Amino acid sequence: SSIPKIVILGAGYGGVLTSLRLQKELNYNEADVTLVNKHDYHYITTHLHMPAAGTDNPENARVNISKLIDEFKIDFVKSTVVQIRPQDRKVILEDGTLSYDYLVIGLGGEPETFGIPGLLENAMNIRSINSVRLIREHIEYQFARFKREPHRTDYLTFVVGGAGFTGIEFIGELSDRIPELCKQFDVDPSLVKIYNIEAAPTALPGFDPELVEYAMEVLRKKGVTFRIGTAIKECTPDGVIVGDGEEIRSQTVIWTGGIRGNRLIEEAGFETMRGRVKVDEFMRAPGHENIYILGDNSLVFNPEGRPYPPTAQIAMQAGVNCAHNLVASIRNQPLKGFAYSNKGTVASLGKGEAIGIAFGKKYKGRVAAWLKKAIDLRYLFIIGGIPLVLRKGKFL
Ligand code: FAD
Ligand code: NAD
C-alpha cells in the first residue's frame, strides 16, 4: 500500500512519547505505526532505585503498554529486536520481521563496564524490572544466609560501584532498607557495611558542590561509607579490588558506573561513540533521512559542543520532536530542529530527603523530596493522564 510504515523500537521514555504524540497528531490512515517492546509493560526507570533496594514493590515501577497507547491507532508488538537492517529497511525480531519506511530507535542503554574484569559476571545492575527484582531478592537472601553462617560478615557488606545519580539514589534507599532488614532478621546493625566507591575526585562529578556535600552528609549519617577517588579495578565472586589492590569482600556488588548505547546499533553499522549515535539536528542518524535515534542511544551536543547527559528528560523531549518531524515528513512539510530545554535535576536520597536544582534555584531536604515527587507525578500524568496518577501516584 502507499501508507507509510513507521516502526518504533523500544517503549522507554523516547518510544512512549513518540507513540503518544503520533497517535494524537496523525490523521486516520495517514500512517501505519508499530511499537515493538521486549515486555508488554513500560518501566518507570526513574523509580527503579526503590524496588531495587526493596523500599517499594516492582509493580509500582511499571505500567502496561495497553494502558498507555490506543491500540486502534498503534499496533503493539511484544517481541525482542535481534537485528536492525538499515540497508533493507527491515527489523528482525526474535519471532518475525518488520519492514519500515521510517524507523525510530529508542532501545535504551546498557551498563558500561569499561572492560573491568569480572563486572559483567559478578555485579548486578539497576536497568529493568527483572534486574531490580534480582537485586531486591539477593539483598534479602544475604541476611538469611548470614543467620546460617554468622562468621560470614561479607554477606552483610554491600558495595555500590559509582557515585553518579543512579548510585546515589540507590544508596539512599538501601540505607533506609538496611535497618528494616536488621530488625526482620535479628541482625546487629553495626555488622552491616555499605560502601559507595567512586573513581572521580568527588561524588556526583560536575554537580553543585554544596549539594553534593549535603547529600554525602545525609548518606553518611545513614551509615554509608564513601570511598571517593578510588576506582574499582576488578570484581570477583568474593568482592571487589579497588585502588592499588585493596580487596573489599562482599557478596553484593551493584554496578552503577555508567551506561552505553545498545549494541544492536553498532551491529547495524551506525557509527557510534560508546554505543551512541551522534545524531543530526533533527535526531536522525547521519546519512539516514528516515531513521531517528532517541534517548540513551543518541548523542546530542549542546551549543558549546559538549554532550548532554542521557536522561529521561531529554529522551521525552526528543520523542515529542521526533513525532512532530515524522508527521511533517509524511505531509512534506519542513522539519523542526531539536532544542533541548533543561528543566533541572532532582535526585532522591531516601525517604524525605533529596537534592536538586530547578528553576535556577537549589533545593535540599524535604522541599527537594517533594519536588521529586511532583516530577514523578507529572510524568505519570503526561503518559497516562489522571487515571494513571490515581492508580500509581500514591506509591511514589
Ligand atoms: P529506556 O527508558 O531505557 O527504554 C528502553 C526500552 O527498550 C525498554 O522498554 C526496554 O525493555 C526496551 N528494549 C531494550 N532492548 C530491546 C530489544 N532488543 N527488543 C525490544 N525492546 C527492547 N533520568 C532523568 O531525567 N531523571 C531521573 O530522575 C532519572 N532517574 C533515574 C534513576 C535510575 C535508577 C536510573 C537507572 C536512571 C534514571 N534516569 C533518570 C535516566 C533515565 O532513566 C534514562 O535516561 C531513560 O530511561 C532513557 O530512556 P530511553 O527511552 O532511551 O530508554
Ligand atoms: P553516570 O555515568 O552518570 O555515573 C557513573 C559514575 O561512576 C561516575 O561518577 C563515574 O566516575 C563512576 N565510575 C566509573 N568507573 C568507575 C570505577 N571503575 N570505579 C568507581 N567509580 C567509577 O551513570 P548513572 O549514575 O547511571 O547515570 C546515567 C544517566 O542517568 C546520567 O545522565 C544521569 O544524569 C541520569 N540519571 C539521573 C537521575 C536524576 O536526575 N535523578 C538519576 C539517575 C540517573
ipTM over 0.90: yes
Ligand 1 near 13 CB (within 6 A): yes
Bridge pairing between strands 110-111 and 259-260: antiparallel
> In angstroms, rounded to a whole number, what is the distance separating the alpha carbons of residues 66 and 93?
20
DSSP state at residue 343: -
Give 173-206 pLDDT, tens digit per residue: 999 999 999 999 999 999 999 999 999 999 999 9
88: left (phi over 0), alpha (psi -120 to 50) or beta: alpha
In ligand 2, which atom is closest to the CA atom of 203? 9
Four-way CATH pick for 5-38+79-109+261-333: 3.40.50.1970, 3.50.50.60, 3.40.50.1980, 3.30.420.40: 3.50.50.60
Task: Write out the chain's pLDDT in tens, 396 residues.
Answer: 589 999 999 999 999 999 999 999 999 999 999 999 999 999 999 999 999 999 999 999 999 999 999 999 999 999 999 999 999 999 999 999 999 999 999 999 999 999 999 999 999 999 999 999 999 999 999 999 999 999 999 999 999 999 999 999 999 999 999 999 999 999 999 999 999 999 999 999 999 999 999 999 999 999 999 999 999 999 999 999 999 899 999 999 999 999 999 999 999 999 999 999 999 999 999 999 999 999 999 999 998 999 999 999 999 999 999 999 999 999 999 999 999 999 999 999 999 999 999 989 999 999 999 999 999 999 999 999 999 998 887 766
Q: Which residues are catalytic?
A: 169
> In angstroms, rounded to a whole number, what is the distance separating the alpha carbons of residues 49 and 113?
19
User: Strands of 224-228's sheet, edge to edge?
Assistant: 224-228, 193-198, 157-161, 252-255
Ligand 1 near 83 CB (within 6 A): no
User: Which value, to the nearest 10 degrees, does the dihedral of the CA atoms of residues 346, 347, 348, 352 take?
Assistant: -30
Mutational test site, ligand 2, from 160, 166, 228, max ligand atoms within 8 Å of CB: 166
In ligand 1, which atom is closest to the CA atom of 298? 52
Give 87-128 pLDDT, tens digit per residue: 999 999 999 999 999 999 999 999 999 999 999 999 999 999
In ligand 1, which atom is closest to the CA atom of 310? 45
What is residue 395's predicted lDDT score, i.e. its pLDDT? 64
> In angstroms, rounded to a whole number, what is the distance separating the alpha carbons of residues 275 and 320?
23
Ligand 1 center to 211 CA (angstroms): 25
All CATH 3.50.50.60 domain ranges of the chain, comma separated, are 5-38+79-109+261-333, 119-255
Ligand 1 near 312 CB (within 6 A): yes
> Closest ligand to 346 CA?
2
Mutational test site, ligand 1, from 46, 103, 129, max ligand atoms within 8 Å of CB: 46
Ligand 1 center to 247 CA (angstroms): 32
Ligand 2 center to 390 CA (angstroms): 31
Ligand 2 center to 201 CA (angstroms): 14
Ligand 1 center to 162 CA (angstroms): 18
- Grid coordinates 518507570 are at which residue? 44
Ligand 1 near 311 CB (within 6 A): yes
pTM score: 0.97
Ligand 2 center to 291 CA (angstroms): 28
Mutational test site, ligand 1, from 135, 173, 311, 341, max ligand atoms within 8 Å of CB: 311
Mutational test site, ligand 2, from 198, 228, 276, max ligand atoms within 8 Å of CB: 198
| Contact indicator for 265, 293 with CB cutoff of 8 Å | yes
Which residues share a beta bridge with 252? Answer: 158
In ligand 2, which atom is closest to the CA atom of 200? 11
Four-way CATH pick for 119-255: 3.40.190.290, 3.50.50.60, 3.40.50.970, 3.40.50.2300: 3.50.50.60
Q: Helices 366-392 & 13-25, crossing angle to 10 degrees?
A: 50
> Closest ligand to 130 CA?
1
Ligand 2 center to 205 CA (angstroms): 9
- Output the residue whose Cα is nearest ligand 2's atom 41: 347
Q: Which residues line ligand 2 (CB under 6 A)?
A: 116, 161-167, 169, 197-200, 205, 231-232, 256-259, 309-311, 345-347
